[in-house]
């Protein structure tokens, strides 16, 4: 039984929860309200960052959402979420890294600006620049998805998980979206998956 700590409004927790549900892995979810992780000594002993998520599997504790997804997929999803073909897996993992290094900063600017900040206090220049950047980044993804159904091939892999969660926010928050037909079709495919609906297509706050 895998334990997953963290609040379901966290995109990083959603990655792990979508992964366990997608694979049908037995798990227990322990809710940690916003800010609480930094205040609980027992939690800090597992994850000194005081951030969510953290997982535990038979005594093995792990944090960093993408590392958690990799671990769960490698243990329970060989041949599905975790491709056995080395190149396909490297391709999938590349998109996980790209989400963290490239997508997450403009994503945070948009979320902070349009969801967490009152209209009169918004930095519209920063939000506009982040939206422009996101449109450019989704163009890269759109070109890849012109040739395949999912980000690393014709099946869902770990690569789709962080990207899919970023896409949910993109399509849910009111921003000026350029048309990216292949990216939109891929997102449509994700929205048909019960584990995505349940864990990702939820209220933002």
Find, among 80, 59, 81, the residue nearest to 15 by Cα. 81
Distance, in Å, from the CA atom of 121 to the CA atom of 151, rounded to the nearest integer, reads 37
Under rule CB under 6 A, which residues in 48-67 are in contact with ligand GSH? 51-53, 64-65
Give least dist CB 12 to ligand GSH, A: 4
- 12 vs 135, beta carbon nearer ligand GSH: 12
* Cβ neighbours, 10 Å, residue 172: 14
Residues whose CB is less than 8 angstroms from the CB of residue 157 and which lie 6 or more positions away in sequence, other chains included: 80, 81, 82, 83, 88, 89, 92, 150, 151
Residue with tokens 């939206």: 131
Site string for ligand GSH, 6-25 (x = CB under 6 A): -x--xxx-------------
35, 41, 119, 194: residue in contact with ligand GSH (rule CB under 6 A): 35
Q: Which of these segments, 45-53, 117-125, 151-159, 176-184, binds ligand GSH (CB under 6 A)?
A: 45-53
Query: Which residues contribute to the site for ligand GSH (CB under 6 A)?
Result: 7, 10-12, 34-35, 37, 51-53, 64-65
């Amino acid at each position: 039984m895998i334990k997953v700590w963290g609040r379901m409004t966290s995109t990083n927790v959603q990655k792990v929860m979508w992964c366990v549900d997608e694979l049908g892995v037995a798990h227990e979810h322990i809710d940690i309200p916003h800010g609480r992780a930094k205040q609980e000594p027992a939690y800090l002993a597992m994850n000194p960052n005081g951030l969510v998520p953290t997982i535990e599997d038979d005594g093995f504790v792990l944090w960093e959402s993408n590392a958690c997804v990799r671990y769960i997929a490698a243990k329970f999803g060989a041949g599905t979420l975790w491709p056995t073909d080395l190149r396909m897996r490297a391709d999938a993992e590349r998109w996980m890294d790209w989400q963290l290094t490239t997508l997450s900063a403009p994503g945070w600017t948009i979320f902070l600006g349009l969801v967490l900040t009152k209209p009169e206090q918004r930095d519209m220049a920063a939000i506009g620049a982040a939206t422009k950047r996101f449109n450019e980044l989704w163009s890269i993804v759109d070109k890849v998805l012109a040739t395949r159904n999912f980000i690393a091939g014709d099946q869902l892999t770990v690569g789709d998980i962080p990207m899919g969660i970023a896409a949910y926010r993109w399509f849910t928050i009111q921003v000026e979206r350029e048309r990216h037909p292949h990216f939109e079709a891929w997102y449509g495919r994700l929205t048909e998956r019960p584990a995505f609906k349940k864990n990702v297509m939820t209220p933002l706050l």
